[in-house]
Amino acid sequence: MGNASDTSAVFTSTVSKEHDIFMGSLYSLFCILSVIGNSTLLLVAYHKRSTLKPAEFFIINLSISDLGMTLTLLPLAIPSAFSHRWLFGETICQVYAMCGVLFGLCSLTNLTVLSLVCCLKVCIPNHGNNFSSSHARLLVAGVWCYASVFAVGPLAHWGHYSLEPYGTACCIDWHAPNYELSALSYIICLFFFCYVLPCTVIFLSYTFILLTVRGSRQAVQQHVSPQTKSTNAHTLIVKLSVAVCIGFLAAWSPYAVVAMWAAFGDATQVPPAAFALAAVFAKSSTIYNPMVYLLCKPNFRECLYRDTSMLRQMIYRGSPQSEPKERFGSTSQRNKDMSVSTRFSNGQQESYGACLHCTDNAALCHVTPQRTACILTGSTYTEVTVGQLSAKPQAEFL
């Protein structure tokens, strides 16, 4: 788990044992919901990969970053919370903090770029229509590079990573700006370029979208989805993106407020419980994206329903209980076939081959199909045209 220095008081929790147990329980719930939700969303996106719209690449990237945060942070934070201390030493603490900053900033930057893409498509459709999947992939790569600059900075001694004030997780050292100039510059750049600027861009983008939609419905109607005439595809993506942005910013804003309080105020006056509670809200951000898109986006929801239906059918077919029902079904079908004395067809056999009277002369196959009837007598049947039937039986059949 670590060396002897890891057992020092610096790795001990500064909040109550009950608070840590509560945090560990919530983290466990978040971990389960996030893994299930984001994995399901990625699976659905993989199955419909050939029909993905460019804007949906950012939805997928958001799920990747949320799943990355879940898998790298919560498996370490949960046992530490239940143990009432950080269990994994200084080196893992640095890696934990870097992953938290990387995936958190990637999610926020991803939402920022998504808002710009939505604004481009709705407000400037002439340029928005030229936005392709290759452009989306390039922007996704830029999102990761942008987040990596601030995640790697403390490892290069621009800022510092350290234990959180509540003692069971690691993040940026918010106390360092009180005594170190480089740490202060890092916090200022982080606050401006990774919180103020993204939030401003998101707010302005969706404000322009709202004004454009209200001012001219025609700009939106140019993007009507061919599958759903009553719902505009881009408008739906905008609405869902707004919902995800609100959820993400609501989750991270408490932590940003507490962190700025510690960085630019008197750090000793910030209670550790405030950091702990803000961290709980921040980690809940990983469950919003799959909930919104899987529950509210029609094509994602339909694909999910289709996949689960196929899974249920596979499980049902493989179960022992299904075999008697299948035998009973086949027997009842044979009885049903024997009980029907006459049936009508559309002039073609069920095997989709040639019609009955075309075996000797293929040229007859080009005539207009006639309605035929199959007469079952005992174990044999013959197929004749309806016109060959007597008048009375024909009226009864019709």
Locus of tokens 């019709």: 398
Tens digit of each residue's pLDDT, the chain (398 residues): 444 444 455 788 999 999 999 999 999 999 999 999 999 889 888 888 888 888 889 989 999 999 999 999 999 999 999 999 999 999 999 999 999 999 999 999 999 999 899 888 888 888 878 888 899 999 999 999 999 999 999 999 899 999 998 999 999 998 887 778 888 999 999 999 999 999 999 999 988 888 887 776 554 455 544 444 434 566 777 777 788 888 888 899 999 999 988 888 877 788 999 999 999 999 999 998 888 877 776 666 666 666 666 656 666 676 555 555 444 444 444 444 444 444 444 444 444 444 444 444 444 444 444 555 555 554 454 555 545 555 444 444 33
Indicate the SS3 state at residue 131. Answer: coil
- Nearest partner of 117 among 103, 147, 102, 137, judged by Cα: 137
pLDDT at 38: 93
Give the pair of three-digit tokens for residue 125.
């459709």
CATH code, residues 4-296: 1.20.1070.10
CA distances from 216 to 198, 209, 221 (A): 27, 11, 9
pLDDT at 309: 67
pLDDT at 358: 45
pLDDT at 366: 46
pLDDT at 197: 94
CA distances from 52 to 15, 57, 59, 81, 184 (A): 46, 7, 10, 40, 43
Give backbone dihedrals phi and psi of 385, rounded to 5 degrees, phi first.
-75, 155
pLDDT at 61: 94
pLDDT at 30: 95
pLDDT at 218: 52
pLDDT at 214: 76
Secondary structure element (H or E) that encloses residue 42, with its range: helix 17-47
Q: Where are the domains of the chain?
A: 4-296, 340-398
